[in-house]
Amino acid sequence: MLNYGAKIAIEMGYPCLILHDVDLIPINTGNIYGCSKTPRHMSSSLDTFRYNLPYLTLFGGAVAILSSQFKQVNGMSNKFYGWGAEDDDFYRRLITNGITPYRFSPEISRYTMLPHVKEIASSERFTVLAQGSEQHKVDGLSSLSDESVIKQEDLYTHIFAS
């Protein structure tokens, strides 16, 4: 779904994309919601992980990235369903394209996760992840279905995608 939102934002001329899980709330107001020359992992310090980064290649939750960089890596994979590994694949897409993301300090990058029922982890996630860079050019923004309906509301845009 992030690809659909990103595609529409890019078509509307937005130079910066904030890819954000709906269950994350920033704690520190110093965490800038904007882009710089390098993609930034905004939510690297989550309460659910006791404010520790579980692994160095984690790149999800809340991310700031230039539209041009998102297009360069062909967005995110469309093959991941349920929970798991799409963020790892996105990180690999960046690295494969010579783009190294960065993080603010853990104090600035603090988020809390709203309580919710956890999604079931996809049993196929590691298989899709293992396909790696051979899929990056053909799976992503370039492989989105054109079957979407956009409904503009006063305070938000609703995107219906199949």
What's the confidence (pLDDT) of residue 123?
A: 62
pLDDT level of residue 44 (50, 70, 90 thresholds)? very high
> With bands split at pLDDT 50, 70 and 90, how would you rate the model's confidence at 78?
confident
- CA 28 to CA 18: how far, in whole Å? 17
* Mean pLDDT on 7-22: 94
Structure tokens at 47: 């309460």
pLDDT of 7 over the 70 cut: yes
Question: Which pair of structure tokens corresponds to residue 2?
Answer: 């992030």
Domain boundaries, the chain: 2-161
Mean local confidence (pLDDT), 81-103: 86
Q: Cβ distance 113 to 46 under 8 Å?
A: yes
C-alpha Rg value of the chain to the nearest Å: 16
| φ and ψ at residue 103, rounded to 5 degrees | -135, 150
The SS3 assignment for 65 reads strand
Q: How confident is the model at residue 122 (pLDDT cuts 50, 70, 90)?
A: low
| pTM for the whole structure | 0.86
User: What is the fold of 2-161?
Assistant: Spore Coat Polysaccharide Biosynthesis Protein SpsA; Chain A (3.90.550)
